[in-house]
Structure 1
Amino acid sequence: RDADALLLGRRTYVTHAEAFEPMAPGDPFGDMMNAPKKYVVSRTLERPTWRDTTIIRENVIESVRALKAQPGKNIVTDGSSQLVHALLAHDLVDELHLLVYPLMLGSGKRALPNGVHATFTLSSATPYPSGVVGLHYARQRE
């Protein structure tokens, strides 16, 4: 709702495009996902299928810095763990919105890359009836 741009890795982009592009106008969630400009970071995606998409093929960090400098609302990244790791490593993340599920797994991807030190402050915590907790953190810079 608060975004006018989506920044996604290729795999997340393809999944989201398949799910949201065909949604009929007027679907609140579909409208929310289809309205923003989309930026996909990929060296292999040949042609975007989702309307209003730009492919970022190289100079990803510089491209994201340029996007952040433009006027507008927020840039949202969903999934795209490799991309998020790169953004965190270059101090390009201003907020984290996390969903914590009441489930423990013995393996999985790291939430943060090695060597990244960033301080965030809890802005809000929202528990849901399912047991999921939504956490919103704001980046603290000195």
Structure 2
Amino acid sequence: MRALIVTEFVSLDGVYEEHSPWRAPYDPDDGPFKREELFVSSALLLGRTTFDEFAAYWPTATGSFAECMNALPKYVATTRPGPLAWNATALGPDVVSEVQALKAQPGGPLLVYGSGTLARTLLRHGLVDELRLMVFPLVLGRGKRLFDTLEHLPLTLLGTRELGSGVLLLTYGPARP
């Protein structure tokens, strides 16, 4: 069974999406971490907005990170009709069942980058094996919060790592009884 890993950039107040360049003042040394997590993954699982943003950039990027990003199969949670390019397959309307089926296949981890709406759905249904939060040292006060629509989600801290510039990587797993 494949593990499902969600990795998110969040502010101290839990904002994951805010349309100002709030990450710009920080220069965390997250390159090795991001490289490690991408290179052990067997596929990307993305929401449609994140997919569209990535598909606009990565196909023309160069280097080994870009090569890995481009080569991985992508599964996209989307309700928009039409074909997807960039080595991607649209998930069906029952995303939870589709992801359960993907997890049941052999292979390395499924990696969710960003995709906050999808991440919340996966967390709500107990499908996330690891939640990796890159916590940036600022409070935004507004924007979409990762845990806004989640109720009672017990987690266990699996590890911490400082990434530089005050950015912490907090890794959580499902709480064990």
TM-score by length of 2: 0.72
Which residue of 1 is the match for residue 142 of structure 2?
107
Which residue of 1 is the match for residue 54 of structure 2?
16
**Kept in 1: contact 2:157–2:172 (CA 8 A):** yes
**Kept in 1: contact 2:92–2:98 (CA 8 A):** no
Residue 92 of structure 1 and its aligned partner are, at CA, apart by: 0.6
Q: Distance in 2 between matches of 1:5 and 1:11?
A: 17
Moved over 4 A (4+): none
Q: May I ask how many residue pairs the two structures share in their alignment? A: 139
When residues 30 and 115 of structure 1 are mapped into structure 2, their CA distance, relative to the original with a 3 A threshold, is closer
**Kept in 2: contact 1:10–1:45 (CA 8 A):** no
2:87 is the alignment partner of 1:47:
no
Q: Which amino acid aligns with 1:2?
A: V
Which residue of 1 is the match for residue 73 of structure 2?
37
Q: Which amino acid aligns with 1:38?
A: K
Supply the RMSD in Å over aligned alpha carbons: 1.6
Contiguous gaps of at least 5 residues in structure 1 = none
SS of the equivalent of 2:97 reads: helix
Which residue of 2 is the match for residue 137 of structure 1?
172
Q: Which amino acid aligns with 1:86?
A: T
Q: Distance in 2 between matches of 1:129 and 1:86?
A: 30
**Kept in 2: contact 1:121–1:137 (CA 8 A):** yes
Residue 45 of structure 1 and its aligned partner are, at CA, apart by: 4.5
Percentage of matched positions with identical amino acids: 40
**Kept in 1: contact 2:160–2:170 (CA 8 A):** yes
Which of 3, 23, 45 is the equivalent residue of 1:7? 45
| Higher-RCO chain (CA-CA 8 Å, sequence separation at least 6) | 2
**Kept in 2: contact 1:89–1:113 (CA 8 A):** no
Q: Which amino acid aligns with 2:93?
A: E
**Kept in 2: contact 1:4–1:35 (CA 8 A):** no
**Kept in 2: contact 1:11–1:80 (CA 8 A):** yes
Residue 115 of structure 1 and its aligned partner are, at CA, apart by: 4.6
